[in-house]
Amino acid sequence: MRGIKDRVAIIGMGCSKFGERWDANASDLMIEAVQEAYMDAGLQTDDINAAWVGTASSFRTAQPVAEALKFNYIPITRVENACATATEAFRNASYAVAAGIYDIVLAVGVEKLKDSGYSGLAIPEAPNSGVTPSAPPPSQFAMAATRYFHKYGISLDEGKNTLANIAVKNHHNGSLNPRAHFQKEITHSQAINAPLIASPLGLYDCCGVSDGAAAAIITTPEIARSLKQDYVLVKALGLSVGAFGMLRDDWDFTYFPETVKAAESAYAEAGITDPKKEVDLAMVHDCFTITELIIYEDLGFSNRGQGSKDVEDGKYSLEGSLPVNTDGGLKCFGHPVGASGIRMIYEVYKQLSGKAERRQLKKANIGLTHNLGGRPGSFTCSIGIFGSADTA
Amino acid sequence: MMQGLISYATYIPKFRLCSNTIGWDNSSERATGNFDEDPITMGVAAGKICLNNRDTNNIDALFFATTSAPYQEKQSASIISSALDLPEETFTIDVTGSLRSGSSAIMMALDSISAGTHQNVLVITADMRIAPAKSSMDYSFGDGATALLLGKRNVIATEISRHSQTSSMIDSWRGYYQSMVNQWEDRFIIDQGLQATLINGINKCLAKSSIAPENISHLAMSSLNAKSNFQLANQLKIPTHNMNSILYDSVGHTGTSMAIMELCKSLDNCSDPDEIICLANYGDGSDVILFKTTHAIQLYHKQSINVMDYINSKLEVPMYEDYAKWKNLWAIGDVSRRPDASPTSVTALHREETKNTKLHGGRCLGCNYAQYPIQRICVNCKQSSGHSVINYSNEGSTLFTYSMDYLASSTDNPLVLATINFDIGGRMLCTMTDRTLSEICIDMPLEMTFRIINSVNGINSYFWKATPIRI
């Protein structure tokens, strides 16, 4: 297997303002993100050979993309893979370039959630028997928190303390990001004392439900070099799909096998043997604070059961040895389902090319994105590893 | 062998309207089904206790008696039959329209067994009657179910005599478009109903069997209330030393189930053979059946759950407002503006009957791994070696992990989502019901209970929930 390492490059990216975009529909959001990506790459609509669009529920076909962006009858594919949808669009677009089919392609993720009139996540369901237990995402992930605390002998207060630390960190990072949905710092006690959503998770343990879009223009490293200096190379794209957590009674909720497997394959593809040292920053799928805690361990950033201590030590803050969710994460940047994966790549791209403004890290050569769709026991996990142009 | 009772059970829902219920404004105590219960789910619960892990393959008929079926058109008995995993060939029927339906169903079942049409018949009764808020009926009605297994083998009580009579008198009624029960003046009911048909019926039944009233050791009667039960017994010269008012005091008048609950309570107190029990039921006339206990009653009690066990196992309804929500008497606003539930696909509901209604899982014939629901390809060995069926509705489990969701539901707040591991292997995601929040913890033992999960467009979707082991 040759893998994807250094075979494709990102030459332009864009990201809409995330949030409650009462002013914008899905097309408006896509246009906002894609026009920024064109500007960044110095390209135009007709330079794009093919496009992939990821959306979970905003539209069902690719035609709205052609209509919004006025593409001239090029191939466009709509993909969907739950909350990992955008990374899936990016992955398929990358493979098409690596296969030599196209020279320059667009991957765009978009979601318009705030037209539902509902503050939670409203995803339409296929006709069904109606017996599936009502289990919104907070209650699903809260089950992981309950079991994690139990396994490591963490009291409810201690556990909520750790989760609050993660929320405070991500709110701080979000406060430095003008495109984030939430740009306010919160205090530790605000997080601890927030109303419960699904015990043990409170309001600040849950990410925002937002509108937004993000886009990437992908090409070969050769073409990238001809266009700009500060392109970013794709080092790995790992994907793992699992569905056995509820069929087997021996999985314990304190790790997500899909993340572990996707990370294994991505690290192997990128040639990373010690992620703690070799990865400079990561954008991970913090749909809930407990998810971020478990991800630290699944990605090998923290040893098993040590996530809480590493958070307390500040390892994952902007000043830490492995900053995580420098852009505020899903928690504060927001989570328009079909856009989030490419939003993560957007921040890594900005950091690796030295354009992350107030959030810019001193050392940013290898960045990782981790995008998780589904629920504990049944996930699609998509991991991307990216390197600055000088890592080839 | 004479036909008679093989097994019996009472199900009393866990919640009680009582003096601690804010807004109840009454000293009475009444059993009320939780928001996810109805006569079908209560009937399944009673049936489960009655069957007590017996082989269901030799049950050939199910009579379900109720006046408060969830469907006007669509049989309830068929759903109960499926949830109890009775054979497809089971004859099912709803007996309805009268508070006497339960005893009439028993009579028809005994006839069917006597005629040789059926060998073993399950008679289930359940009622959940709604009355205008804080009316005397509201303060006296209770919810509950019973189940009797009738047949000829290993009977604990045989039928020795019976009498039925009919009356067209309207004393309590519920019109086609009415959701609540109406009742005429009680003095009229006592004079023209109880005296004219119940007293008369009992006297005629005794005369038929040449049994003297003083030889009746237990009178299992349903009338207006406990007071009228005692008055009628005294008038009939039937000994009252085995009678008490506990069901009226702690559960309420359970409609179709009332007389049969009294019968179950009487059987609980029968320890000897040859005791005479008089089942006397009132409604559109009267049904009277005399039963005599057999030697089998002594062994039976070693393995059965008593009515008192269910009376004593209870939780208080915090506020009358909760009760009003549970019974859909109070339209509930949804703070979170949750989208409406999607309409139920009856196609999917039908296709998934073994998974949803019967709660069948499978054990792989190749590697022995237990899994729910049944998988065509084993999750463990990845082979298609076939499976043996596990009926998980009878299996115990422990709580592996859980959460309490404060936004997911407005009637069951917080909604307790549970991942449970069955003792015999296998896992299931479900919600937990009839729970006390402070008692929920990892590894707590649980049992399964059949409940309404969803109700859209008149279609109830039934499924199983976990509940702390009750008794």
Say what the pLDDT of residue B391 is.
Answer: 97
Inform me whether the C-beta atom of residue B352 falls under 8 Å from chain A C-beta atoms.
yes
Residue in A closest to B452 by C-alpha: A131
Q: Which residue has the tokens 């769709």?
A: A373
Tokens at B247, concatenated: 């069901």
Concatenated DSSP letters of B132-146: STTSHHHHHB--EEE
Largest CA distance in chain A: 60
Contacts by B194-200 with C-beta closer than 8 Å and gap 24+? B194/B223, B194/B224, B194/B228, B194/B232, B194/B282, B196/B167, B197/B165, B197/B167, B197/B282, B197/B285, B197/B286, B198/B223, B198/B232, B198/B280, B198/B282, B198/B286, B199/B232, B199/B235, B199/B236, B200/B165, B200/B286
Contacts of A147 in chain B (CB under 8 A): 400-401, 442
Residue in chain A closest to B455 (alpha carbons) equals A130
Shortest distance between the Cα of B412 and any Cα of chain A, in A, equals 11
| Exposure on the CB side of residue B5, measured as CA atoms within 13 A | 30
How far CA A58 is from CA of A61, A63, A126, A217, B132, in Å, comes to 10, 12, 15, 22, 47
Q: Helices (H) and strands (E) in chain B — how many of each? A: 14, 22
Q: What single-letter amino acid sits at B267?
A: L
CA separation for the pair B145, B128 (Å, rounded): 9
Angle at B85 between CA B80 and CA B86, to 5 degrees: 80
- Compute the mean pLDDT over every residue in chain A, rounded to the nearest whole number: 96
Query: CB within 8 A of B61, min separation 6: which ones?
Result: B90, B91, B92, B93, B109, B112, B117, B118, B120, B121, B122
H or E segment at B291? strand B285-293
- C-alpha of B189 from chain center: 27
What span, in angstroms and rounded, lies between the C-alpha atoms of B244 and B269?
A: 12
Query: Is there a shared CATH topology between the A9-112+211-227 domain and the A136-182+233-386 domain?
Result: yes
Q: Looking at residues A155-182, what average pLDDT do you find?
A: 98
**Closest-CA residue in chain A for B405?**
A198
| Architecture, CATH, for domain A136-182+233-386 | 3-Layer(aba) Sandwich (3.40)
For the domain with range A9-112+211-227, which CATH number is right: 3.40.50.11860, 3.40.47.10, 3.90.700.10, 3.40.50.280?
3.40.47.10
**Average pLDDT of the residues in A128-156:** 94
Q: Rounded to an integer, what distance in angstroms lies between the CA atom of residue B134 and that of residue B5?
A: 38
**B431:A134 CB<8 A:** yes
Q: Nearest Cβ partner of A244 from B370, B379, B421?
A: B379
Q: Distance (Å, rounded) from C-alpha B224 to C-alpha B344? A: 40
CA distances from B334 to A118, B326, B337, B455, B461 (A): 10, 15, 5, 16, 21
CA distances from B105 to A160, B82, B219 (A): 57, 19, 19
Q: What is the mean pLDDT of residues A61-79?
A: 97
CB atoms B400 and A134 under 8 Å: no
E strand map for A141-298 = 196-199, 201-202, 212-219, 232-241, 281-283
How far apart CA A359 and CA A363 sit, in angstroms, is: 12
Q: Could you say which residues from 318 to 347 on chain B have a Cβ atom under 8 Å away from some Cβ of chain A?
A: 336-339, 341-345, 347
User: Whose CA is closest to A185, among A194, A204, A176, A172?
Assistant: A172
Is A195 in Cβ contact with B338 (below 8 Å)?
no
What is the set of active-site residues of A? 83, 335
How buried is A89 (Cβ within 10 angstroms: 0-12 exposed, 13-18 middle, 19+ buried)?
buried
Q: Residue B318 is encoded by which pair of tokens?
A: 């915090």
What is the band of A283 on the pLDDT scale with cuts at 50, 70, 90? very high
- What pLDDT does residue A121 have? 83
Q: Which residue of B has its CA nearest to A200?
A: B403
Dist CA A208 CA A188 (whole Å): 18
Chain-chain contact of A143 with B341 (C-beta, under 8 angstroms): no
pLDDT at position B340 is 74
Contacting residues of B for A118, CB less than 8 Å apart: 336-339
pLDDT of residue A134: 78
* CA distances, A355 to each of A51, A133, A218, A230, A350 (Å): 26, 45, 19, 10, 5
> If interface means Cβ-Cβ distance under 8 Å, which residues of chain A face chain B?
116-120, 122, 124-125, 127-136, 138-147, 150, 195-201, 244, 246-249, 252-253, 377
pLDDT reported for residue B334: 67
| Inter-chain Cβ pairs, chain A and chain B, closer than 8 A | 149
B182-219 in b/e burial notation, b at 16+ Cβ within 10 A? ebeeeeebbeebbebbbebbbebbbeeeebebebbbbb
Shortest distance, CA B70 to any CA of chain A (angstroms): 17
Contact A31, A87 (CB under 8 A): no
- Chain B residues in contact with A138 by the CB 8 A cut-off are 403, 405, 407
The phi and psi torsions of B420 (rounded to 5 degrees) equal: -115, 145
Q: Which residue has the tokens 């209509």?
A: A67
Q: How many helices (H) and strands (E) does chain A have?
A: 13, 11
Q: Is the ipTM of this complex over 0.90?
A: yes
Three-state SS across A137-162?
Answer: HHHHHHHHHHHHHHHCCCCHHHHHHH
CA of B106: how far to CAs of A87, B101, B149, in Å? 64, 9, 10
Q: Identify the DSSP state of A96.
A: H
Token code pair at residue B40: 């079908």
- Spatial neighbors of B252 by CB under 8 A, at least 6 apart, are B28, B29, B30, B31, B140, B141, B142, B143
Please give the angle made by the CA atoms of A35, A39 and A44, to the nearest 5 degrees. Answer: 70
Query: CA A51 from chain center: how many Å?
Result: 20
* Cα nearest neighbour of A125 on chain B: B342
Distance from CA of A155 to the nearest CA of B (A): 13
Angle B254-B14-B361 (CA atoms, 0-180°, nearest 5)? 105
Q: Give me the DSSP letters along B405-450.
A: ESSS-SSSSSEEEEEEEETTS-EEEEEE-S--GGG--TT-EEEEEE
Confidence of residue A22 (pLDDT cuts 50, 70, 90): very high
CB contact under 8 A, B342 and A199: no
The verdict on B206 touching A (C-beta cutoff 8 Å) is: no
End-to-end CA distance of chain A: 19
Compare all CA atoms of chain B with the CA of A197 and give the residue at the minimum distance: B406
- DSSP states along B402-416: EEEESSS-SSSSSEE
**Contact assignment for A147 to B400 by CB distance below 8 Å:** yes
Least confident of A94-108, A275-289, A374-388, B294-308: B294-308
pLDDT band at A123 (very low <50, low <70, confident <90, very high): confident
Interface probe with A: pick from B364, B390, B400, B405, most Cβ of A within 10 Å: B405
With contact defined as beta carbons under 8 Å apart, do A122 and A113 qualify? yes
> pTM value?
0.95
Taking 70 as the pLDDT cut, the residues of chain B under it are 334-337
Amino acid letter for position A8: V
The whole-number pLDDT of residue A312 equals 97
For residue B353, which residues of chain A lie inside 8 Å, CB to CB?
none
Pairing of strands B415-422, B397-405: antiparallel
Instruction: Tell me which chain B residues have a C-beta less than 8 angstroms from the C-beta of A133.
Output: 417, 429-431, 453, 463
Asked if B345 and A117 come within 8 Å (Cβ–Cβ), the reply is: no
* Contact call for residues B410 and B334 (beta carbons, < 8 A): yes
Question: Does the CB of B431 have a partner CB in chain A at under 8 Å?
Answer: yes
With H, G, I as helix, E, B as strand and everything else as coil, classify residue B222: coil
Residue A278 has pLDDT above 80, yes or no: yes
State whether residue B168 sits within 8 Å of chain A by CB. Answer: no
**B427/A248 touch (CB, cutoff 8 Å), yes or no:** yes
Q: What is the pLDDT of residue B335?
A: 65
For A366, B11, B201, B229, B341, the CA distances from B162, given in Å and listed in that order, are 88, 26, 9, 19, 50
**Chain A within 8 Å of B83 (Cβ-Cβ)?**
no
Buried b (16+ CB within 10 A) or exposed e, A75-85: ebbbbbbbbbb
Rounded mean pLDDT, A49-78: 97
Q: Residue B444 — φ and ψ, nearest 5°?
A: -65, 140
Using a CB-CB cut-off of 8 Å, the residues of chain A touching B426 are 249
Residue-range domain boundaries for chain A: 9-112+211-227, 136-182+233-386
Q: Tell which residue, A46, A98, A100, has the closest CA to residue A74.
A: A46
Q: CA-CA distance, A160 to B147, in Å (whole number)?
A: 48
Angle at alpha carbon of residue B291, lines to B285 and B293, rounded to 5°:
160
**CA-to-CA distance for A29 and A108, rounded, in angstroms?**
10
pLDDT for A296 equals: 98
